[in-house]
Structure 1
Amino acid sequence: MVYRKHALALAAALLLASATSAYAQDTSRTPAIAGVVAAGTPVELIKDGFNGTEGPLVLPDGSLIFTETPANRITRIAPDGSTSTYLDNTNGANGLAFNADGDLYAVQVQDARVGIIQPASSARTLAVRYEGESFGRPNDLVLDRKGGVYFTDSGPNANAPARPAGQPAPAKPAVYYISPEGALTRLANDIERPNGIQLSPDENTLYVANTAGEYVLAYDITGEGKVGPRRNFAKLEGWRKTDTGASSSGADGLAVDASGRVYVASTAGIQVFSAKGEALGVIALPKPPQNLAFAGSDKKTLYAVGRGAAYKIATLTQGYGGRAK
C-alpha cells in the first residue's frame, strides 16, 4: 500500500513536470499563423530585468528603442541584442513616435504632458492639459503623415501617488488629437481605460486598445481631428472579470504590418487580427507583453516588451513601412 502511494505521488509529480515543460515549449516556439509566422519559430529572450518596458520604436538603422518609464530612461537594443542607454531624463516617457524630420515625440507621465524630447533644439511641449484639466497618465501615441498626433490618456494607475493638496483632479481617460498647427481636440472620453493606439496603413482607421474591455475599438477617421462612432473591431482572448467585479483583457500596445494586420499585446500574448478584425492566432510569451513593434533593417522582426523583459520573433511579414511604428 505504501509503495502504491509513492508510485501515485511520483506519477503525479511527473505529470506536473511534463505539463510545465510543455507550457515552456508552447511559450518559446510559435504556432503557425498564415503569412505572419512559421510554426516552430522561436521566441527569443533578449534580456530580462529592465525597470519598466514600454514604447518600442524602430530606429533608422533597424535597431529598437523602448522606454523604461520608472527609470526615466530610453534604452536601445542593437541588432546583436546588446543594450545601451539611448536617452536619460525623459520625464517618464512612455509611448514614442518619430515624425518625418526625425524628431522624437513622447507621452510623458512624471509631469504629465505630450511633446518632443529629441533633438534638444526641437524639444517642446505640445499639450499639458485639456480645457483646464491636467492629463492623468498619457499612455501611447501615433503620428499621421501630416504630423498630427493621436494619443491616449488612460488615467492615473491605482498605485499612483496622491495628487498634491489643492491640485485639481485630472481629466477623464480619453483619446486626443493634436493638429500639425498645435490645436488639441478630444476625440472620445467614453472608454474605460484607453491604452495602445495605432493607425491603419491607409490612415482611414484609428485603433484603440481598451485595457478594461473585451474588444479592440476602431474609429473611421472622417477629417482632421474628427472620427466617426466607435465600433468593436476585434474580440480579445483572455478577457475576464475579477473578484471585485472589475474586468480586464490586459490589452495594451498595438502594431500593424504592411498588409494591415493588427497586433495586440495582451495577457493572452500577442494576438493577431486581419484588417477586418478576424482572429488569426496568438503568439504566447513567457511573460505577458505590454507593447510591440516591428524592427530590423527589413522590419521583419517583431519585438515585444513587457514586465521587465524584451523578446523578438522572426516574421514572414513586414511591419508597415510608412512610419516608424
Structure 2
Amino acid sequence: MKTLAPLLAALSLAAAPAAFAQSAASGAVQVAQATPPAPAANDSGPAVTPAIPGVVAAGTRIELIKEGFNGTEGPTSLPDGSLIFTETNAARITRIAADGGTSTFLGDSNGANGLALRPDGELYAVQVHQTRVGIVHPPEKRRTLADQFEGKGFGRPNDLVVDKAGVVYFTDSGPNLRPGESLPANINPPAVYRIGGDGKLSRIASGIERPNGIQLSPDEKTLYVANTNGEHILAFDIRADGSLGPARNFARLDGFRRNEQGTGSSGADGLAVDAEGRLYVASNPGIQVFSPSGAPLGTIALPRQPQNLAFAGPGKNTLYVVGRGAAYRIATLTAGYAGRNK
C-alpha cells in the first residue's frame, strides 16, 4: 500500500540503541517525582507461563528480547510483523525485528509514551516532554492534535487508542506530584479525552484517580480504562453521539495494595484485546487476562513488572510485553485483534 511507504521506509534504520540506566521522565510542569523501582513480578520463578485455556499453553517460555532500555511503553505492531515501542525517557521509538534485533525507528519523539498506528501509516502518540497528542510519523504529516483543554495544559498524557473512523481516545494521568503537593492551577486534573473526526476535543470521563491504559473492544462499543490507583478495570458504553455511559467496574484486579500513605495501586497500566475479545492488563502481578464479560482467566507473571503489551508478528500470535527497561515475547494460542495494531 503506497500510504504505508513512508512508515516502512523507516524500518531500514539500523542504529542500535545503547543501554541506559532508568531515570524519571520530565513532565510539563517540572514536578517530576522520583519513583522507586516497582517490585519484580516473577524474579525468583522460572520464566514460563501457566496454562490459560485458549491463551497460552503451560510452560511456554517467556523470552527476554533485551533489557537496558530507557523507559518502556507504547508497544505497537507494524504491517511487516515487527513491533515498535517507546523509550519515553530517551525521547526515542525503538523497533524490534522478527529475529529479535533492535534498532532506532524514530530518534526525536518528544517523549512519546502511548502509540497508535492508523491504516494509512500515520503514527499517533501521546507525548510527555511538551505535553500533547499528535502525529509523529511520517515526518511530512507530523502535527499536534491537542495540547490543552479549556485553556489549561495536560499533566501527563499517558496512552491512546484510535477507532476505525479515526476518533482518538486518550488518557491524561496527571503530573507526578509529591505527597501533599497540589495540582498547578494551569494544569487539568486527570481525565479521559476524545478527539473527534472533526478535530474537536472533549473531556468524556473524569474523577478517575490515575487513568492509564486505554483500549476499545473489537466491536468498538465499549471503552476500557485502567486506573493505576484503583482495584478495577473500568468500562464505559460508547453512545451514538460519542459520549460515554456511566463507568462500571468491568474486572477486579489481583495484587491491589496500599502504601504507607494509604494510596492504592493495582499497577494497572497498558491494555490489549485479542481476536476473541479477551482483555489483557499489565499490572502488579503480571499480565492479567479477562474474558469479554470480565471473568478472570489467569495471570502471566514476568521477571519484571509489565507496563504495556501488544500482539505482533506473523498472524499476530506473539504477545510482546515491555516493562522496567526490558522487552519480552510469548508465543500464544490466540491472536491479537486484526483491526488494531496492538
Residue 155 of structure 1 pairs with residue 180 of structure 2: no
- 2:95 equivalent in structure 1: 76
1:25/1:35 Cα in 2 relative to 1: closer, same or farther (>3 Å)? Answer: farther
Aligned to 1:231: 248
- For residue 294 of structure 1, what is the aligned residue in structure 2? 311
| SS class of match (1:41) | coil
Contact (CA 8 Å) 1:185, 1:225: kept in 2 or not?
no
Report deviation, 1:297.
1.4
Structure 1's 27 and 272: CA in aligned 2 closer, same or farther, altered over 3 A?
farther
- Residue 101 of structure 1 is matched in structure 2 by 120
Q: Does structure 2 retain, via aligned residues, the 8 Å contact 1:137–1:154?
A: yes
1:9-88 mapped onto 2 (5 Å cutoff): 26-88=45-107
Q: How many Å apart are 1:262 and its aligned residue?
A: 0.1
Which residue in 1 is equivalent to 2:264?
247
Cα offset for 1:181? 1.0
Q: Which runs of 4+ in 1 moved over 6 A?
A: none
Q: Distance in 2 between matches of 1:274 and 1:224?
A: 27
Q: Partner of 1:280 in structure 2?
A: 297
Indicate the SS of the match to 1:227.
Answer: coil
**CA RMSD across the alignment:** 1.6
Deviation at residue 24 of structure 1 after TM alignment: 5.5
Distance 1:27 1:312 in 2: 15
Report the secondary structure of 2:136's partner residue.
strand
Task: Select the structure of larger CA radius of gyration.
Answer: 1
Is the contact between residue 63 and residue 295 of structure 1 (CA under 8 Å) also seen in structure 2?
A: yes
Q: What is the CA-CA distance between 1:98 and the residue it aligns to?
A: 1.1
How far 1:223 moved relative to its partner?
2.2
The answer to whether the 8 Å contact 2:226/2:271 transfers is yes
The count of residues paired between Structure 1 and Structure 2 equals: 299
TM-score scaled to structure 1, two decimals?
0.89
CA apart distance, 1:180: 1.1
Amino-acid identity (%)? 66
> Is 1:206–2:223 an aligned residue pair?
yes
**CA distance in 2 between partners of 1:24 and 1:125 (Å):** 40
Q: Is the 8 A contact 1:27 1:284 kept in 2?
A: no
Unaligned runs of 5+ in 1: 1-22
TM-score under structure 2 normalisation? 0.85
2:189 to 156, 172, 181: 172
Residue 126 of structure 1: aligned partner: 145
* 1:308 to 2:321 alignment: no
Asked whether the 8 Å contact 2:278–2:289 carries over to 1, the reply is: yes
1:242, distance to aligned residue in structure 2 (A): 1.1
Q: Distance in 2 between matches of 1:25 and 1:224?
A: 50
Structure 2 alignment gaps of length 5 or more:
1-41
Q: Is the 8 A contact 1:54 1:305 kept in 2?
A: yes
Q: Deviations over 1:209-264 (max 9, x none)?
A: 00000000000001243110000000001001111111000000000000000000
Whether contact under 8 Å (2:43, 2:302) holds in the other structure is no
Match of 2:286 in 1: 269
The C-alpha deviation readout for 1:273-301, integer Å capped at 9, x for no partner, is 00000000000000000000000011000
Matched, 1:113 2:113: no
Alpha-carbon separation, structure 1, partners of 2:278 and 2:263? 29
In the aligned structure 2, how far is the partner of 1:236 from the partner of 1:321? 26
Give deviations 1:119-144, integer Å, cap 9, x for gaps. Answer: 11111110011111100000000000
* Secondary structure of the structure 2 residue equivalent to 1:232: strand
